[in-house]
Chain A
Amino acid sequence: MNEKQVLNDLKTIRQIMERTRQSVSSESGWFSVTGGMMWLVGFLSQQFLQEQLAGWVWLVGNAIGILVIVWLWVHSTRRGHVSSPIMRSVMLSWLALGVFAGLFAWLFEVRTTPHILLLVVVTIALGVVQIGLLFSYWPFSIAGVTIAAATTSAFLLIPDYFFLVAGLLGGGPLIIAGLWMVRSGT
């Protein structure tokens, strides 16, 4: 094998890596946009609607969000996008975060709605920062830190507007980071 062949092969490997990264980036971006929309609608309803009605909005919003995420997943697989083992690892990592939040709520007796939502928001923010760190998606890490800082500050300083701030400054960065990833992946 001569030098030219080696260089060509390396170029091909680099192209494959870039295509995989773009594909994962685009998929993750749409997941983030969907999550951000669910978050925005849920928290705004929590702020402005009665608690029972807001509960229904969360329920319906989550159901629609899950359906959209499943559809995105199936759609991307059918289009022949790269289904990488990395996505499975990321899913397991999110599952671990979910189990941690559940255990924490149980062991530390987190009972009220604002406290439960704060725990969920901070845990998701951690996950977003971690994904950004491990996959070098810096806007993701910045979005995660912004979410944690904004919601914690709102919870402590303006508790009456906690849901509004969590909706706008929590859902907003997720949507923006997701759109950035979609753009950079296309």
Chain B
Amino acid sequence: MNRNQALGDLKTIRQIMKRTQKEAGRHSGWFILIAGVLWLVGFTANQFVPEYAGWTWAAVNLGGMIAMGWTGIRLTRRSDVRTTWWKPIFFFWVILAAFAILLGWLFDANDSVQIGLLAILAAALGYVQIGAIFQSLHISITGILVAAMAIGAFFLIPDHFLLAMALLGGGLLIGSGLWMIRSRT
């Protein structure tokens, strides 16, 4: 193999890596967008119809899981990039959810504000870690902003914390998701 061939091959490898990264970014954008819609609906229900909040969250989570599963399958079929990452990422989020539930139980997170704050911080942690591991600054910054907003709302407007999370947290996720989808196309 001569020098030109080697350089050509390296260029091809770099192009493949770039294309994979672009695809992964666009895929993540869709999932973040769906998560934002879930937050918007769930936390709005928490604020205005707390008696139905549990059922709303159950329905919203079920709908979200179906939407994410459908989106994942559709994107994978359409894409020319095949990945085996979905399994560890799926279990990553399952373990993170189990961790948040364990903490809430061990440290007596009782009311909806505390439970909401814990869920938001755990989700933000997940975004920061996924962003760090996949070297996506956008995802990490989204996580940091969500955590900062949650803590700010918790202290500054505790009575409207859930509404703030619906509008600001959900809005931020929807905006970030849309931005990631558009900027990668």
Contacts and interface: CB of A to CB of B under 8 A. Distances in A.
Interface stretch (B42-50, B71-79, B106-114): B106-114
A69 B165 CA distance: 40
A45 interface: no
A129 B95 contact: yes
Contacts, number: 72
A148 B117 CA distance: 22
Interface string A73-94: 0000000000001000110110
A148 B105 CA distance: 14
B132 A92 contact: yes
B132 A126 contact: no
A115 B107 contact: yes
Interface stretch (A24-32, A56-64, A101-109): A101-109
B154 A126 contact: no
Interface stretch (B28-36, B121-129, B166-174): B121-129
A58 B114 CA distance: 31
B-side binding surface: helix, strand, loop or mixed? Answer: helix
A116 to B, nearest CB: 11
A115 B108 CA distance: 12
- The residue in B9, B103, B143 that gathers the most chain A C-beta atoms within 10 A of its C-beta is B103
Count class of interface residues, chain A: 20 to 34
B135 A85 contact: yes
A48 interface: no
B55 interface: no
A5 B128 CA distance: 42
B145 interface: no
Contacts of B122: 100
A103 B124 CA distance: 12
Contact of B132 (A93, A100, A122, A129): A93
B173 to A, nearest CB: 18
Contacts of A108: 107, 109, 114, 118
8 contacts: A9-B1, A103-B121, A104-B118, A108-B109, A126-B95, A126-B99, A130-B95, A133-B95
Interface of A: 1, 5, 9, 85, 89-90, 92-93, 96-97, 100, 103-104, 107-108, 110, 115, 118-119, 122-123, 126, 129-130, 133-134, 136, 148, 152, 155
